[in-house]
A = this chain, B = another copy of it.
Amino acid sequence: MTGAGGFVGRNTLGPLRARGFEVHGTMPASEALDSLDVLVHRADLLDPDQVRCLVRDVAPSHLLHLAWFTEHGKYWEALENLDWVAASLTLARAFYEHGGRRLVMAGSCAEYDWAPPGRREGETGRATLKCNEWLTPCNPSTLYGLSKHVLHLLMSEFNARTGTSGAWARIFFLYGPGEDPRRLVASVIRSLLFGEPAECTLGEQTRDFLHVADAGAALAALIDSDVEGPVNVASGKAVPLKEILHLLGERLGRGDLIRFGARPTPRNEPTVLVADTRRLKDEVGWEPAIDLEKGLEATVDWWRNRFESGVS
């Protein structure tokens, strides 16, 4: 697994071990990870020599490629996305050369066309976008989405030509303990813990949120299956952001600090964005275990524990 120390990676190690995998994980030298579920390999995946040496030494049968440039606020348009396309191609080639058989890479709901043609200038995208892996067109509006999508196109052909088995995990919106503190759920929880106002939109956008522990379990199930092609990794349930915000406010007893409407609602995004999760459910045979209310409560508690033990 690449990106073993990341938000998703850390949550995938346990489920992989539980399925009997011997897990080798790559991490940059800068990251820390305390886990008995993984044999850690320090590597800079942007260095092809390191990639080739590592793959040769480990000779993995399966590859779950999660590593990418993910710096909050920057990753959508950063040129580093191009480096990760290149690195991912090098990795796939090395994996195949050293006997690799099954390959799952992390894609994104940002590959789908969020604002189809026909929409009038300045108008919000179509009211409801239910993303189906085969039927919904892809037309990413960000460099991140485009980079993931072209990699998917190349990987499909790579799988077909090498006879390797491959799936492409289109991951939707995630939350959970250990999230980047600048992302929605984490930042609102932290504001409320600090007694500071949380400036939000009206929260009418309805999104598909999955607990990161469920995302890890889904990815482990996916790589352990023989399902091929794009597979949405999501809950399949659309929840208005304001419902999430209300739940957080309630759990922390500081709903008064949430400033609904202080930020504009993003334009050019669908009002409802939700995954069709039939492939994940029917073909992979996996369903989420953590309901949103319990998942948010656990996330609040995790941040509160950190806060109360003096870690900010």
Q: Which residues of A contact B (CB under 8 A)?
A: 47-48, 77, 79, 82-83, 85-87, 89-90, 92-93, 96, 143, 146-147, 150, 153-154, 157-158, 161-162
**A277 to B: closest C-beta gap in Å:** 28
The A interface, classified by DSSP as helix, strand, loop or mixed, is helix
Complex Cα spacing A85 to B143, Å:
16
Partner of A143, one of B82, B143, B157: B157
Partner of A89, one of B85, B93, B158, B161: B85
Known pairs A153-B150, A157-B143; A82 contacts B77 (CB<8 A): no
Subset of 20 A-B contacts with CB under 8 Å: A47-B48, A48-B48, A77-B161, A79-B93, A79-B96, A79-B158, A79-B162, A82-B92, A82-B154, A82-B158, A83-B90, A83-B93, A85-B86, A85-B89, A86-B86, A86-B90, A143-B161, A146-B154, A147-B154, A150-B150
- A85 CB contacts on chain B under 8 angstroms: 85-86, 89, 154
Complex Cα spacing A158 to B143, Å:
9
Whether A153 contacts B162 by the Cβ 8 Å rule is no
Complex Cα spacing A85 to B161, Å:
17
- A83 CB contacts on chain B under 8 angstroms: 89-90, 93
Whether A157 contacts B146 by the Cβ 8 Å rule is yes
Complex Cα spacing A92 to B82, Å:
10
**A139 to B: closest C-beta gap in Å:** 11
Complex Cα spacing A47 to B90, Å:
11
- A77 CB contacts on chain B under 8 angstroms: 161
